Chain A
């Protein structure tokens, strides 16, 4: 009895132990399964399990959440008929064909655009992979998917941005390039390709030695090294020979740094300044020439004022002494010759003085201010009248003609023009001199609109229009000295003053009827 009872008790104990053990195993299994499920369902990746005929037997949460569909809609059904692929028949076909390949033992991988639950197309990297048992037979197929839209978009944006930059670089008139610290080209623009006759894809990776002489390449590299060593931008002039000869560039070179702050490239932007330099040289050269000429002129003017006058003084002085001391041995004709000699030397003295005045006009800077031309004209008219009170001349001076200019020069200008009118009306019956202004077109020459054209008009001797191109030349005279005396400097002076003001002057005349001189004073 006792033994049997004991045996029973042992059995029960064993049974209980076994039950405990099983319970433990079961618990462990449950926990393992739970863990697996958590991993399965929390995975970012889309994962499914298909039988070899393509029926879906399992799927994790990710693809369901992606499309907003329920497990029941896909489980037990052919994979290609799942709502993920209802975008097109072609898509379903592709899935089905891929499955056919996978069940034959091959991994298939491709990208497809699938709709998410909001209807937005997302790019999915899909793979379909066969699974074999220990015997090597294919028993399942595992489809997987991963949303790579963001990566894809970033890549596309990067490409677009690069294309955009390249387009900007390619359309720049400057030569633009990027070299790594070893001097190998990493980027060049179209201008670079054109100038050095290279093609981007073949050229990248090459160095300066491949396109220019060693001497020039050394210089380029010296500048690049200076950028790397200083770590900052530099601006240098570089010279290089192209098909059309030696060209000058102003190159801005600066370092490009990676995320760690290390220089990985030197970028250069080189602008062609050959033309500019040529122009600068031309300007410098002509400035130098003008300075030299001015200096020469000054020396000439000085020598004229000083040396040419001395002999004239002798001629005049000794003629006068002859007249004074030897009048008893000279007859009237002899004396008249001496008088002529004196008049000649004095006229030449006047010419020299006028010429000097003319040359001095161009030397000084002009000082522009508001000038009341009407007042100047009235003052000049009064002076002329005072000098020859016996003459009766009618002056018509328009009021309030105000212009921008150098007052001293404008006075000389008006004095010459009005003085000429005064002189050439000397023989007119009823002399009339007018000073006024009109608007451009009336002057007969098209000028800037609204630019006033001033004029001095007289009814004097006039001139033949055939000689109008000679009006403004120094020493050019259209009248005989016996009729109207003068040195022929007046209008040359006028022309020079007008030119200094940036204006124009021209004349119209009819012999015996009068002359009109028009002028503008520039902007």
Chain B
């Protein structure tokens, strides 16, 4: 594999480490960029502030988005991503601890592509990452540009 990058929006260093390890162990070699709050995630995606020199057209292949985040939470990030025409088609997978029905409903309503609950069992966690990588990075065909052409 390789090529396009994965944006991991995650404020917990432990979860970040576990996720990256699981990706590696499952031979997902894509570059992983980690941002640690909602504002940073939007800055990265839209090429603002610290990421002003980034080409916003160069979008990640997949965003793994946690819900509970400092500053803007995951729902707010998702809302803004879907509102902006440059990122509205970007594949966003919610990767959260929450199994609250209200969170699920709200995420799908805002246009999340998928919702995966982080398992406690690391073996299951790793399997989830493996399936997720296989599906979104290999099987899934995304439009050539993740925004409107």
Contacts and interface: CB of A to CB of B under 8 A. Distances in A.
B14 A305 contact: no
Given A306-B68, A310-B14, A313-B18, A349 B121 contact: yes
Contacts, number: 60
Contacts of B98: 302, 305-306
A356 B99 contact: yes
B122 A305 contact: no
Contact of B120 (A301, A321, A345, A356): A345
Give the interface centre of B12, B18, B120, B121 by most chain A CB atoms within 10 Å.
B120
A222 B121 CA distance: 74
B125 A317 contact: yes
Contact of B121 (A302, A316, A353, A356): A316
A316 B12 CA distance: 15
Interface residues of A, number: 23
Interface in A268-321: 301-302, 305-307, 309-310, 312-314, 316-321
Contacts of A317: 14, 18, 122, 125
Interface in A371-385: none
Contacts of A319: 122
Interface string B1-23: 00000000000101100100100
Given A317-B14, A317-B18, A310 B123 contact: no
Interface in B103-149: 118-123, 125
Given A346-B120, A349-B120, A349-B121, A313 B99 contact: no
Given A310-B14, A313-B14, A320 B100 contact: no
Contacts of B55: none
Contacts of B80: none
A51 to B, nearest CB: 114
A313 B122 contact: yes
B27 interface: no
Contacts of A306: 67-68, 96-98
A302 B68 CA distance: 11
A312 B117 CA distance: 14
B121 A305 contact: no
Contacts of B121: 316, 342, 346, 349
A210 B119 CA distance: 78
Interface in A314-334: 314, 316-321
A334 to B, nearest CB: 18
Given A310-B14, A313-B125, A345-B120, A305 B21 contact: no
Interface in A348-373: 348-349, 353, 356
Contact of A305 (B18, B97, B123, B125): B97
A302 to B, nearest CB: 6
A345 B18 CA distance: 16
Nearest to A320: B122
A187 B12 CA distance: 80
B118 A313 contact: yes
A141 to B, nearest CB: 108
Interface of A: 301-302, 305-307, 309-310, 312-314, 316-321, 342, 345-346, 348-349, 353, 356
Given A313-B118, A313-B122, A318-B18, 20 more contacts: A302-B100, A306-B97, A306-B98, A307-B68, A309-B97, A309-B118, A309-B120, A313-B15, A313-B97, A314-B18, A316-B125, A317-B125, A318-B14, A321-B18, A321-B21, A342-B122, A345-B120, A348-B120, A349-B121, A353-B99
Interface of B: 12, 14-15, 18, 21, 67-68, 96-100, 118-123, 125
For the complex of A and B, the 4 pairs showing the least CB-CB separation, nearest first, are: A349-B120, A320-B122, A317-B122, A314-B14
22 contacts: A305-B99, A306-B67, A306-B97, A307-B97, A309-B118, A310-B14, A310-B15, A312-B120, A313-B118, A313-B119, A313-B125, A314-B15, A314-B18, A316-B121, A316-B122, A316-B125, A317-B14, A318-B18, A321-B122, A346-B121, A349-B120, A353-B99
